[in-house]
Amino acid sequence: MKAFTTIAFAILFFIAVWTERRDTEGTINPIIGDISFEKKYGTAPNADTDDQLRIAAHLEYAEKELRMRDVSQLSAKMRIKRAQMLDLLHEYWSAGLFPKNYKHEGRKPCFIDQNGTICAVGYLIEQTADRATAEDINSRNQYATILEMNDKKVDDWISQSGLSKEECAMIQPGYNYIPDYKPEIKPAYAITSSILIGLNGTSSVINAVEVGKGSRTNATPVLGIVGGAGQFIAGAVGFNRKNQVDGASGTWYAGKTQRNVSMVNMGLGSLSIGLSIWNLAVNNKPISRRSAWDVRSFPDANGKSGVALSFTHKF
């Protein structure tokens, strides 16, 4: 029984670790990190957080921070230019149309993506210079950060924008990688499901046999209840866990295969729990032993008591 309990708790621990596991995708900006999301939503983003939400929160925060800075050292002309840039930034993030990173794993900036969608700083350049200038910069610096850009056109534009290069870099977000292919089901979930399906499938068969025979073994139904509960929880969590992405929109969603496996997990987990409870409830009589040893006393010929060892076996 102790061995069964140890295995059961080990399985539940594995499931708990898997459930809470979060892959870090990197911060959205190398200068201010993810403080924008944390300030707005009170929690740090994780791998399941909608990227559009992260980008919008970052740009909104950057606009707010830049408007609050002391710009008394700037000329009146540059202060007007700066205010214009921040108004354009507000217009940009409010529209909610951001480029995608289709080529580099992890987070990378993307000046103009393959669909022609332009980034925030690119939009400021496009609106105050022209699209051709933005596309020319993109041809040399598509996936570079502002601070990595050693480009005269970029530097000339910044010098007339009322913003510093560091401030432009603070505006620029990194975009999550949008792969051409995403596994139908996460390996960790597939492994967990396989273990639980094997464990609970076996315990369900044993429970059914014990119910049919009318025998009583506590270890099997207890393990079936614990394993079944773990599998049901894994299925419930996995059913809505986002593991697929729409390449066009960048929207993450739960894949069909993962949802099918999740339904199997919930169904088999429920079956395992039900059979285990039935086994415990129905088979409440102790198993009659076929063999037994006993110590008996008997009177001898002199009237004294003797002791004998008795063995009984039922055929």
For 140, left (φ over 0), alpha (ψ -120 to 50), or beta?
alpha
Can you tell me the distance from the alpha carbon of 22 to that of 150, in angstroms, rounded to the nearest whole number?
A: 36
Tokens of 92: 């940009």
Nearest alpha carbon to residue 225 among 5, 2, 16: 5
> Can you tell me which residue has the tokens 């999740």?
262
Q: What is the pLDDT of residue 182?
A: 56
Question: Within 13 Å and on the Cβ side, how many CA atoms surround 278?
Answer: 18
Pairing type for strands 291-299 and 252-253 reads unpaired
In 3D space, the residue among 254, 77, 57 whose CA is nearest the CA of residue 160 turns out to be: 77
Ordered by start, the domain boundaries in the chain are: 2-20+181-282, 35-171
Look at residue 20 in the predicted model and tell me its pLDDT. 38
Query: Tokens at residue 151, please?
Result: 């480009």
State which H helix or E strand residue 293 sits in: strand 291-299
Residue 308 phi/psi, 5-degree rounding, is -135, 145
Instruction: Look at residue 131 in the predicted model and tell me its pLDDT.
Output: 96
289: CB partners within 8 A, 6+ apart: none
Q: What distance in Å separates the CA atoms of residue 163 and residue 158, rounded to the nearest whole number? A: 6
Predicted pLDDT of residue 23: 38
Question: Terminus-to-terminus CA distance in the chain, angstroms?
Answer: 29
Residue with token string 């993962």: 258
**Is residue 135 within 8 Å of residue 122, measured between CB atoms?**
no
Per-residue pLDDT of the chain (315 residues; tens, 9 = 90+): 444 444 554 454 444 434 433 433 479 999 999 999 999 999 999 878 889 999 999 999 999 999 999 999 999 999 999 999 999 999 999 999 999 999 888 899 999 999 999 999 999 999 999 999 999 999 999 999 999 999 999 999 999 999 999 999 999 999 998 875 556 677 777 888 889 898 888 888 888 887 777 765 677 788 888 888 888 888 887 777 665 555 445 455 566 777 788 888 888 888 888 888 887 777 665 555 556 666 566 666 666 666 666 666 565
Report how far residue 293's alpha carbon sits from residue 223's, in angstroms, rounded to the nearest whole number.
Answer: 31
Q: Distance of CA 33 to CAs 147, 211, 275, 290, Å? A: 15, 59, 51, 71
Can you read off the two tokens belonging to residue 207?
Answer: 């429970």
Q: Are 107 and 28 contacting, i.e. CB atoms less than 8 angstroms apart?
A: yes
Interaxial angle between packed helices 219-239 and 187-213, expressed in degrees from 0 to 180 and rounded to the nearest 10: 150
Given this model, what pLDDT does residue 76 score? Answer: 96
Question: Kind and range of the H or E element at 252?
Answer: strand 252-253
User: 305: which strand partners?
Assistant: 299
With beta carbons less than 8 A apart as the criterion, state whether 311 and 292 touch: yes
Angstrom distance (rounded) from CA 91 to CA 69: 20
Burial class (CB in 10 A: 0-12, 13-18, 19+), 20: exposed
